Chain A
Amino acid sequence: MTTWNKVLRALSSRRLSFALLAAWCGLLAIWVIPFMATGLAEDRISSIATSWLPFRIVYVSVVITTIACMNVRMTADIRRAKAVVKIPDSPGRHLAPDLTAQPITIPEAKERLESHGWTVAASRDSLAARRGRLSLLGGSVFHLGIVLFIAAVALYPALSSSADFRLIEGESVGMGQPDSEDAALRSVVADATLIEVAPRYFRDVLLFERLDATWDRADGRRQTFSLASPLWVDPITTVSIQDYGLAPRFVVRDLTGVVQDTTVAMSIFPPGNEDTVGLDAAGLDVTASAFPDYGVVDGRDVSLSYNIKSPRLRVSVSSQSDPTSVIGRGLLAPGESLVLQNETGGSYTLVFEELKTYGSFRIARSWAMLLLVVAGVSMVAGMGVRIWRPRIEIVAWTTEEGLSLAIRADKVGVPASRVVADALATKGRRP
């Protein structure tokens, strides 16, 4: 045996595979799951499970040993799958029967087995048959799926890119959006103009029932998508809405006209959150909190639900030159205004024009996902073929009492004798 073959055999050792699986289980049970139960942050857990040397040794070893094992076993399995069905010499002398005294002749047995999809070779007084030829390859296909899965997860960062960006209703994707070095990724949404972000909450509770985004493309297409039903740009690229928020539009006027007209995304949702935005052209800082569905309960200003039905904005305005001094406060409905005075005696009007929404979007592209889909299909299909159509081989010969059969099959889960007896007793669907 050559050195390479010796190495291959050592790497494809069943004991080594057991040891690696047990090691992987141990690492999960000791270093991952208990830390999760104690609430350790996910990025720390991810760092442990992907970067710690013991984990990396297990992952690399599993891939190497699986490939080695497949190399050894798949060669033999392919040879067996391709082998022609042959009747051995004098089977009655050399084989111990598993089924005896079957009241059927060789020609009848051949016909019945072939009608059940068996491949049969028959002579005058003996017969050999086989079914589930490809079953043995199922195991190799399954393990190929494992190798592909581990490879895809390991290569995922190199084969994937994503970018997040934010758009307010009415905005178009601007220069530099999304913030990504992947020009192809940026070009996916370069011509989009956000028309609407439509959240809907279940009754009056903080439970998203719907969150749809609608935008227009330069070619006139209107596209609507959501978190769970993203836009499929191509098989490996999706665009989805991840979150939304409120974006009030402020117009600041003085005696000469409009000083600033701006719509700004603020972190003021859900109700109770407060955020501050600077209106630099007007020299103002505006601190706001929102009531998407304003009402008064027991003398208190509240939001009756999370849906935007009757919005109000509670604002507190200060001058950027003297942030500690509040120059105006109020609870504004859309269209309402505050009159403010600056330190020189001039007056401003701050108008809360309207309450828009903004969406937080994500573009994700990953070649690794194709690998993962192939891996998943391989694992399920490989294992499925192995189980549901197991390989069974039979050799039959005539005796004085009838037909005797020797059966060879997987010992695990296969009622081989019953399958063979049923096939001989009934005619199948195939002609």
Chain B
Amino acid sequence: MIALWDALYLLFFTMCGALVVLSVSSFGWRRLVTWGRPIVLAAVVAGIAGLAARSFTSGHLPIFGTFENAWTCAVSILVFCAVAPRLLGGAAEMWRWMSPWALAVMIYGSFFRREPVALTISEQSIFVDLHVVFAWAAFAALLCAATMSLLLIMGGRPAGDAEESQRIHDRLVLGGYVAFTAMLATGAFYLWILFATPWKWEIVGASSLLVWLGYGILIHGRLFYRWHGKGYHAGVLAVLPVLLLAFWVWSLYPGTYHFFDIPLVRPY
């Protein structure tokens, strides 16, 4: 018999796929767009319910291992799509270009161990929970900005006219940067608690620093020199691979203390 969390996981997965199909289909049949927001909201409910059921089974928040983190990330992306348009004052159809990311992350996570296991002691802290909240908020905002940049380079209108799209893009980059800074700060503080040092030179931290500096350059350019157009958006896209590296390298590379797909070694 399938567990409740597993059933909700599959439901959420299916809804991510439905959103992608809807997004693609709406290019030919515009009326389908009106179905998007209700399905996003339903997917968010299913996703959060599934994560809650998973947490009940495993005994901890869903932050341990690539499977859980991928699921949490995908839910975070759709929560962002549900909430951000109101905060930004635009981009109501954000789900159309963000749902493929949610689906891609779910597909990626499905290749990893899904068995619920106990949370390792080094993750049992409120500071880790805060760090994760800021991390996924930053990831969703910056990923959205990068995707908008791609669409703008391709001549699209992701959020209305050019000026409105640029304004929303600016808010995404700036807001994502604040969340990213908060993620680094909480991470540094917790690292001191664990290892009596605020910084370790390992690949997740170093690539995160590179992301932070990269967006710093872009924000300076935008504020001081009003960088805009295809050149600016190409710069935003250039940081995207490093952003993906910083957030996901730990799922494949064990040489980092962010690695959490710990082999379940048995004594014999």
Which residues of A are at the interface with B, using a C-beta cutoff of 8 A? Answer: 14, 17-18, 21-22, 24-25, 28-29, 32-33, 36-37, 39, 42, 45-46, 49, 152-153, 156, 160, 162, 202, 204-211, 226-230, 238, 240, 270-271, 293, 297, 300, 302-306, 362, 364, 366, 368-369, 372-373, 375-377, 379-380, 383-384, 386-387, 410-415, 418
Contacts and interface: CB of A to CB of B under 8 A. Distances in A.
A412 B225 CA distance: 11
Given A415-B89, A418-B89, A21 B122 contact: no
Nearest to A146: B216
Nearest to A236: B192
A207 B123 CA distance: 12
B234 interface: no
B267 A387 contact: no
A271 B206 CA distance: 35
A267 B30 CA distance: 68
Contact of A414 (B167, B181, B192, B199): B167
Kindly list the 4 A-B residue pairs having the minimum CB-CB distance in the complex, ordered from nearest. Answer: A376-B185, A413-B170, A364-B196, A302-B268
A77 to B, nearest CB: 13
Interface string B178-193: 1001101110110011
A119 B197 CA distance: 46
A304 B268 CA distance: 7
Nearest to B223: A412
B17 to A, nearest CB: 33
Interface of B: 89, 117-125, 128, 167, 170-171, 174-175, 177-178, 181-182, 184-186, 188-189, 192-194, 196-203, 206-207, 209-210, 213-214, 216-217, 220-226, 253, 255, 262, 264-268
B120 A45 contact: no
Contact of B264 (A152, A207, A372, A412): A207
Contacts of A33: 203, 206-207, 210
Contacts of B189: 369, 372-373, 376
A225 to B, nearest CB: 11
Contacts of B124: 226, 228-229
B202 A209 contact: no
B193 A238 contact: yes
Contacts of B222: 412
Give the dominant DSSP class at B's interface. Answer: helix
Given A18-B217, A376-B185, A383 B178 contact: yes
Contacts of B194: 227-228, 240
Contact of A205 (B121, B167, B178, B264): B264
A209 B253 CA distance: 23
A414 B170 CA distance: 9
A377 B185 CA distance: 8
Contacts of A160: 196
A156 B198 contact: yes
Contacts of A362: 196
Contacts of A384: 178
A25 B214 contact: yes
B85 to A, nearest CB: 13
15 contacts: A24-B213, A33-B207, A36-B206, A205-B265, A205-B266, A206-B267, A207-B120, A208-B121, A209-B119, A226-B121, A238-B193, A303-B268, A304-B268, A373-B189, A412-B174
B117 A202 contact: yes
A231 B207 CA distance: 32
Contacts of B210: 25, 28-29, 33
Given A209-B121, A226-B121, A379-B185, A14 B220 contact: yes
A224 B196 CA distance: 19
Given A205-B264, A303-B268, A373-B189, 13 more contacts: A18-B220, A18-B221, A32-B206, A33-B206, A37-B203, A42-B200, A208-B120, A226-B124, A240-B194, A293-B267, A305-B267, A376-B188, A413-B174
Given A270-B267, A415-B89, A418-B89, A25 B174 contact: no
Nearest to A49: B201
A226 B121 CA distance: 8
Contacts of A271: 267-268
Max chain A CB contacts within 10 Å: which of B120, B122, B196, B224?
B196
B191 to A, nearest CB: 10
